Chain A
């Protein structure tokens, strides 16, 4: 069975702070994909990144970066110099390639204040 754990239910930071959202996953498959989605107050989940299990290279996209570590089964997401517009619920998700569905974590609500 596959499982995604986002232990942080809610995080509050002040604008310009860096913040890391944790994601720990469980799967017995050797081939799998990890995702992050953002759900702003409007409600529509927006895709941020997909990573496959054979690519442990960290990724940076602007203020966003992702740290994938197979040794600890983690795929953490860092926002540098957070902004109010980053306030949202962030979901980590796992797919084992041949499976037809994503397994989502319970989400982390990020509140960025001035």
Chain B
């Protein structure tokens, strides 16, 4: 069964800490995405990557960066976590861009104190 695995389901961090959220997919997909999910706001795209070492900003990239050194792994980095980054973070992958179906991970719930 194809999978997108997010390394941490729950994290609690302090304001100002550097936070890494890791995502691995085993489907040999070209594209990977990081979304943020907040009540009443739905899913909003933070960053996506269409190839190794390639990335593009989504709708809300401020305060985040990403890294994709290998095809199967896409990391979301919060350089200095703030309380307004408390949220559910969802990683997804797809074979192609455009109207391709996304396969999602189970999410990482981050709380910043």
**Total residues of chain A contacting the partner, CB 8 A:** 26
Q: Mark B39-50, 1 if CB is under 8 A from A, else 0.
A: 011111100101
* Chain A interface, >50% SS class: loop
User: Quick check: is A28 within 8 A (CB to CB) of the other chain?
Assistant: no
Give the interface size bracket for B toward A.
Answer: 20 to 34
Complexed CA–CA distance, A45 and B90 (Å): 9
Indicate if the CB atoms of A106 and B41 lie closer than 8 Å: yes
A interface residues with partner B (beta carbon < 8 Å): 4, 6, 9, 33, 35, 37, 42-47, 50, 52, 91, 95, 97-102, 104-107
B interface residues with partner A (beta carbon < 8 Å): 9, 31, 33, 40-45, 48, 50, 56, 58-59, 88, 90, 92, 97-99, 101-107
